[in-house]
Structure 1
Amino acid sequence: MTVTLVTRDEARLAFSCAEGQNVLAAAEAAGLYPPAMCHEGSCGLCQAHVLEGGYEMGPHTASALPAGPGGVLLCRCLPQGDLTVQLPCTDAQVGRHQIPVREAVIEAMGPAGAGAVALTLRLKPDAAAGVGADFVPGQYMELAIPGTDIRRAYSLANLPNWDGRLDFIIRLLPGGAFSTWLGERAAVGDALTVRGPLGHFVLDESSPRPRCLVGGGCGMAPILSMLRHMAEFQDSTPVHLIYGANREDELLTVELDELRATLPQLGVTLSVWHPAPGWAGFTGTAAQALEVHLAEAAESPDIYVCGPPKMLDAVIAVARERAVPEAQIYAERVQS
C-alpha cells in the first residue's frame, strides 16, 4: 500500500507501507523523518490528519491526538489501504538524512530541583561524527536504556560543543521505564546509546520581533539552551522568560542568575502556582503570567513554549486569545 504525506506547503511525499507497519516507521524506512519524539503515542509531536483512506489507531494517549476529523498520531496510525495524510509542518521540516546513533557514557548525575535529575553524558569518539556534540539549541536526543530497545526523548540544556558533552534535565516519573533505570540503577561510567539530534523547536533568528520563552518542568532544558545560545552570540534581541512551576523547590535558580549576568536585556518572571508564604514572585500558572506579559507588551512577540501538555495547551490558548499569529507560536511538549 502507498502512503502520501502532504506538507503545509503542499509538497507530496509518497512511500510504501507494509501491512501492520505504522506510518512513521514506514516513512523513516523510506528515508523521511517527520517531526516525532516518543514513538509510543504519548507526546503528540507526530500529530497529523488523514485526508483519504482507511486506518486503525494503535494504543495511544487520547490527549495527544489533534482535534478535528481524521486526527492521528503517525507513530500509531496503521493504514488499511492507500492513505493520504496532511502534516502540520513544511517540506523543509521533514528530515531526509538518517538520524545518527552514537555511544555515550554517564559523566555526572545529581538532583535538579524536586523530582528531577541533571544528567551529563559524554559522547564516545565516532569515525563519522568525530568527538563533538553537534546540534541546534532547542533540539533533543533519544536515550536508550542499556540492554533494551526502550528509548525516551529528552531536550538538551547545553550548547553545541567540541567536547561531546550532552546535558539533560530529566524528571523522574513514578513507574516510568527510563525514570526507574535512572533513579535506581544508573551510575557514572555506564554506557548507553543516543539517537539524534532531532526536532525543529529552535529559534527563528531571522525574526526581528521580541521573544517570549515559556518553560515548565523539564521543558526548561531547551529554553536554557536557547538563552545560552543568545548569550554566547551576544544576541541583543529583547527576550522575556516565563518559568512556571507548581512549587518553589522545582525552580532552577542558579542557571537564571548566570543568564541575567550575560543577557542584560533578559526579563524574568518566576511563576509558582502554589507558593509557600512569603513568595515574592508571580503567583499563578505560566499561562496566567503570559497573559500579564502580553497585556503589557508593545507588540506581539515570538512565543517559544516547552513543557507538560496541560501547561503548553494553556499557554497556546492565551497566545491565541491575545491574537498572537500562529506563525509566531513555537511549541514542544515534554513527556509527562
Structure 2
Amino acid sequence: MLEQWHNGYVTKIVNETHNTRRFWIQVPDKEPFDFKPGQFVTLDLPIHEKKNKRWRSYSIASCPNGSNTIELVIVLLEGGAGTTYLFNEVREGSELLLRGPLGVFILPEALDRDLFLICTGTGIAPFRSMAHFIHKHQVPHRNIYLIYGSRYIKDLLYPDEMQQLQQELPDFQYIPTLSREDSPSWTGRKGYVHTVYEEMLADRKPAYFFLCGWKAMIDEAKQRILAMGYDRKDIHLELYG
C-alpha cells in the first residue's frame, strides 16, 4: 500500500552553505511524524503536468523526536526544476504536499560490526539522522565511521555538529575528506572517500557499509568494497540525483 499524501507546512528555512538550505516541515495530520533514521519523503511540487515528473525525494536529515516536524537539507541543482522551485518559491509558511516516510535504507537490527557511513554532499542527511538516533537511544554499537566527501571546506554540511557528536558519542569518528581544498587552514583528509575506508579496512574486519550520495561515488565504492572481498549483502545504498 502506498503512503497517502499529507499537507506539510514550512516552519523554518536556514541557508546552510552557499548552495544548500535546511527546510523544517511540519505535518499537522501526522502526530508524531514517526520514521526510521535513513528514510525519506517524496514531495509533489507544482512543476509539471505529469505526476511522476513532479515528484522529488529527499532523505530526512533530522532524528525521530516524537514531534511532527522533520528537517530536509537540499542542494540547489543547476537547471533542476525541483530545487529551483524550492529555492525560489518556497518561504516560511509555504505549503508542500508530501508522502512518507518511505525507504528501507535503515540501520541493521544489531550493530554488531563496524559501521561505515560513506557519503558525498547532502548524502550526509540520513547518516546525521542515524548517528543522532544511536546517541539519543544509546544503541549498543561497534565503531562508527562517517566518511564524508566534499570539494571544499565551504561545502561541508553540519561540520560543527558532527565534531560535537564525535566528542559525545563513543566510538564515533567523523572523517571529512576534501577533494579540491588547497587552503593551509585545512589540516584534515584530502582526496576522495575511497582511500579512507580502504586504508581503514586493510585488515578486512567485518563491517556494514551504507553509501549515500551521487551515483558515480556509489558505483565506485560498491566495486571497491566488493573487490576487497566483502559481500553484496553488507552494502546498502541510497542514490541521489
**TM-score for the superposition, normalised by structure 1:** 0.66
The corresponding residue for 2:152 is: 247
Aligned partners of 1:158 and 1:166 also within 8 Å: yes
Summarize the alignment of residues 1-336 of structure 1 with structure 2, pairs less than 5 Å apart.
97-124=1-28, 126=29, 130-146=30-46, 149=51, 150-237=54-141, 238-252=143-157, 253-278=159-184, 279-295=186-202, 297=203, 299-335=205-241
Structure number with greater CO (CA < 8 Å, separation at least 6) is 2
**1:202-246, CA deviations, whole angstroms, 9 ceiling, x for partnerless residues?**
010225111111111111000111111111111241211101111
Residue 300 and residue 332 in structure 1: after superposition, are their counterparts in 2 closer, same or farther (change >3 A)? same
Q: Measure the CA separation in 1 of the matches of 2:188 and 2:228.
A: 23
**1:104-159, CA deviations, whole angstroms, 9 ceiling, x for partnerless residues?**
101111212231111110112x2xxx421111100000012258641200000112
Shift of 1:259: 1.5
Q: Measure the CA separation in 2 of the matches of 1:147 and 1:288.
A: 40
CA RMSD of aligned residues (A): 1.6
**1:259-304, CA deviations, whole angstroms, 9 ceiling, x for partnerless residues?**
2133121122111111123221111111222212212x56131111
Residue 114 and residue 313 in structure 1: after superposition, are their counterparts in 2 closer, same or farther (change >3 A)? farther
Aligned partners of 1:121 and 1:165 also within 8 Å: yes
Letter in 1 for 2:98: V
Aligned partners of 2:63 and 2:128 also within 8 Å: no
Instruction: Give structure 1 regions of 4+ aligned residues with deviation exceeding 6 angstroms.
Output: none
**1:29-75, CA deviations, whole angstroms, 9 ceiling, x for partnerless residues?**
xxxxxxxxxxxxxxxxxxxxxxxxxxxxxxxxxxxxxxxxxxxxxxx
Q: Measure the CA separation in 2 of the matches of 1:223 and 1:121.
A: 19
Q: Measure the CA separation in 2 of the matches of 1:330 and 1:192.
A: 29
Residue 287 and residue 141 in structure 1: after superposition, are their counterparts in 2 closer, same or farther (change >3 A)? same
Q: Measure the CA separation in 1 of the matches of 2:47 and 2:195.
A: 44
Could you say which structure has the larger radius of gyration? 1
Structure 1 unaligned spans of 5+: 1-96
Aligned partners of 1:209 and 1:301 also within 8 Å: yes
Shift of 1:315: 1.3
What is the count of residue pairs matched by the alignment? Answer: 234
**TM-score for the superposition, normalised by structure 2:** 0.91
**1:63-115, CA deviations, whole angstroms, 9 ceiling, x for partnerless residues?**
xxxxxxxxxxxxxxxxxxxxxxxxxxxxxxxxxx3313111101111212231
